[in-house]
Amino acid sequence: MCFLSDSEIKKLISLGRLVITPFEWDQIRENGVDLTIGDEIAIPKVGEKIIDPLDTTTAELFDLYQHVEIPPEGYLLAPGQCILAHTREYIKMPKNVIALANLKSTLARLGFLIPPTVVDAGFEGQIVIELCNMHHYIRLHRGMPFLHLVFARLEDEPEIPYAIRGHYQGQKGVRLANLPLKSYN
């Protein structure tokens, strides 16, 4: 696996192998691309319901989240609050390139966290990320830079492309978990 530089990323975009829409060339950094917050978030409703990832359906999750459009003045995130957010950008990954989604360091320094997230080779859609606020009240705005994607080239294309097996291909907006999970017992 080889990480891609800004010049390699620009080549992929120029050749149409990596598609990012909407896109501005200044989103490309030394070794990646910055992405921004879309217009919708999903806020979990804290409750006593037990979620069993092997026995819960995606439909059951809709009652457990409130989908909210981010207002023009932004959305105020409380300390300890976690939400699902999506990128404004719709991306189409090459068949032999993955991306590692990282939080912009400015937001990390304010106390935000995201779980490790891989954008699979061949993925197409908006990226959905859990964003957790640890310390202060912070206002989130549409179009605010929040993710930095670092790209890496695979030695070979996957045998089974994400487009065939991927659960979130073509997603737009905040999409909840695709349940139930398959058990390997």
Give dist(CA 89, CA 19) in Å, integer: 10
Q: How many Å apart are CA 179 and CA 112, to the nearest integer?
A: 27
Q: What is the 3-state secondary structure (H, E, C) of 16-51?
A: CCCEEECCCHHHECCCEEEEEEEEEEEEECCCCCCC
Which residues are known catalytic residues? Answer: 130
The DSSP letter of residue 160 is: S
Q: Provide the β-strand partners of residue 117.
A: 101
Q: Under 8 Å CB-to-CB from 39, ≥6 apart: which residues?
A: 69, 70, 88, 142
Classified as helix, coil or strand, 59 is: helix
Those residues whose C-beta lies under 8 Å from the C-beta of residue 137, and which sit 6 or more positions away, are 76, 77, 78, 79
